[in-house]
Amino acid sequence: MDPTITPEAANHVLFHFGQGGYQAGSFTTHLLAAFATADEQHFFRLSEAFPEYGAAVAAIQYDPKGVTNLKAIATSGEVAA
């Protein structure tokens, strides 16, 4: 099953990568920094604990349409898988 990206996670990830959204609290800000710098093994382990953030970070880093998709999730208020 694909992880669900919530509007909140989408907004936090967009902000972290300078693409809009809004800033997360201090824990989530540090979590996103860890995701952004993690090697593959650690990224996977973080994603097991925080799947919505793992999916959103992977989208913005590796999907050419990731920013567009995350912005759609962030503004729609709907949860996307």
Residue 9 dihedral angles phi and psi, to the nearest 5°: -65, -40
The Cα–Cα gap between 3 and 15 comes to: 20
Tokens representing 56 are 């959103």
The Cα–Cα gap between 57 and 42 comes to: 13
What pLDDT, on the 0 to 100 scale, is given for residue 56? 97
pLDDT > 50? residue 1: no
pLDDT > 90? residue 66: yes
pLDDT > 60? residue 6: yes
**Per-residue pLDDT tens digits for 16-56:** 999 999 999 999 999 999 999 999 999 999 999 999 999 99
The Cα–Cα gap between 12 and 57 comes to: 10
